[in-house]
Amino acid sequence: MNYIFFSPNFPSNFKYFAMRLRDHGVNVYGIGSDTYEALDPELKDALKGYYRVDSMQDYHQVYKAVAYFAFTYGKIDRYESHNEYWLEQDAAIRTDFNIPGLKISDLPTIKQKSKMKEKFTSLQIPVAKGQPVFTVTEAKQVAKALGYPVLVKPDIGVGAAYTYRLENEKELKKFFENKPPMTFIMEEFIDGDIETFDGLTDASGNIIFVNSFVYNAGVMDAVNKNEDMYYYTRRQIPSDLQKAGTACVKAYNLKERFFHFEFFRLKDGSLMALEINVRPPGGLSMDLFNFTNDEDLFDVYAKVVLGLTFKVKNDRPYHAFYIGLKDENMPLLKQDIKTSVEKYKLILVFNGPIASIFAPAIGNYAIILRHSNIELLKKAAAEIMAMKDPV
């Protein structure tokens, strides 16, 4: 099997995708803008070939790289980046080279938040009221109908980038004065907690692994308010979340893919759909999957690609708890990181810096704890994140 891994050097833990595929006999080829010498040593060992492009955004260069591998080594069986940013380009390459996986025609309901709303509604899953807005006059009318505060966010976007809460018409006007040249959705502001339904499907679309994260705050607050944050894996997944998430996976006909669906848990206990992502959740979430189950999901994925028969560990004996601390907040902590690491060393499974591109959402420094008792972990997180009293 010939597998092209686009952007194999980022994020750093994704090297394990290449390594596990290689371990199962797959020929893995990389395409990226880093020099070969700059690649992680373990990643270099896993790649049978590497093609450097000057610009990863230049489709012609990427197309040429894929054509080179196809001409040199034969038919390309898979092409993947596992990254939201490259989703459209990945689909274009698969379309042009007839490689299995998501194609250009599959993208509208996956990339556009307005189309996601339509899909969720067709499944009778509630969504926030809202619509695309193109002019300040139209936005005023929509905001009046919804009532302030309102949320504005790109119809096609990643994470919480360019997402804002507007409290009044003055802020709305200011937003339009500085609005980036893209389509935005305006919707009612939802007061709820974010829960996720994540997992992996096999080649027939069957869910073979499932997970759920709970966040202490939304990504928007972490980015816009520069707050520290935490999120953790559940040991038990609520039945209504399982039902809604499973329906979404079937409706999107996801095959041989990771998925990451986000929902609001409202104050009355009901669920409301937020958005769909057809890739692994970001940051160190893959590691949290593994810490929760004592499993290797990178290896599980390799087996899925090869169509092997196997059993996945998914009994979730632990909660894996991610704590993200920001550089600006660290001097204000009651106890420094060294003290926290030493204090919780018996339940600590990882600590270290985070790639700067992820920092606005999940912090510059990560501490991951795991234990079967969630209250113990929440107490530890509260102590680690506690700030000094104001002077």
What's the N-to-C CA distance of the chain in angstroms?
63
pLDDT at 221: 66
Q: For 199-227, write each residue's pLDDT tens digit.
A: 999 999 999 999 999 999 766 666 667 88
Reduce the DSSP state of residue 1 to 3 states and report it.
coil
Q: For 354-377, write each residue's pLDDT tens digit.
A: 998 888 889 999 999 999 999 999
Q: How confident is the model at residue 185 (pLDDT cuts 50, 70, 90)?
A: very high
What percentage of the chain carries pLDDT values higher than 90? Answer: 89
Contact 361, 222 (CB under 8 A): yes
- Whose tokens are 């007061």? That residue is 191
Reduce the DSSP state of residue 89 to 3 states and report it.
helix
Does the structure show a pLDDT above 70 at 149?
A: yes
pLDDT at 141: 95
CATH architecture assigned to 192-385: 2-Layer Sandwich (3.30)
pLDDT at 218: 61
Work out whether the CA dihedral 132, 138, 140, 146 comes out positive or negative: negative
Question: Averaged over 155-180, what is the pLDDT?
Answer: 87
Amino acid letter, 320: A
Q: How confident is the model at residue 161 (pLDDT cuts 50, 70, 90)?
A: confident
For the whole model, what pTM was predicted?
A: 0.93
pLDDT at 371: 98
- Whose tokens are 């907040």? That residue is 329
Residues 191, 188: Cα–Cα separation, whole Å:
10
pLDDT at 162: 84
Residues 83, 11: Cα–Cα separation, whole Å:
9
Return phi, psi of residue 278, to 5°: -105, 60
CATH class given for the domain over 2-106: alpha beta
**Residue 241 CA, distance from chain mean position:** 18
pLDDT at 361: 87
Contact 212, 240 (CB under 8 A): no
The torsion of the CA quartet 366, 371, 372, 373, rounded to 10 degrees, works out to -80
Residues 95, 92: Cα–Cα separation, whole Å:
5
Residues 227, 220: Cα–Cα separation, whole Å:
10
Q: For 132-146, write each residue's pLDDT tens digit.
A: 999 999 999 999 999
pLDDT at 160: 65
Contact 242, 210 (CB under 8 A): yes
What percentage of the chain carries pLDDT values higher than 70? Answer: 97
Residues 202, 131: Cα–Cα separation, whole Å:
34
Task: Please state, in angstroms and as integers, the Cα–Cα distance from residue 238 to each residue in 81, 160, 241, 371, 373, following that order.
Answer: 31, 26, 5, 20, 17
Instruction: Write down the mean pLDDT value for the chain.
Output: 95
Contact 292, 233 (CB under 8 A): yes
Does the structure show a pLDDT above 90 at 246?
A: yes
Residues 226-258 as b or e (16 or more Cβ within 10 Å = b): ebbbbbbbbeebbeebeebbeebbeebebbbbb
pLDDT at 217: 73
pLDDT at 159: 61
Q: Which of 15-24, 155-164, 173-182 has the highest mean pLDDT?
A: 15-24
Does the structure show a pLDDT above 70 at 49?
A: yes
Q: Which residue has the higher pLDDT, 345 or 360?
A: 345
CATH class given for the domain over 129-188: alpha beta
Domain parsing of the chain, residue ranges: 2-106, 129-188, 192-385
Residues 313, 293: Cα–Cα separation, whole Å:
6
pLDDT at 219: 63
Question: Averaged over 39-54, what is the pLDDT?
Answer: 98
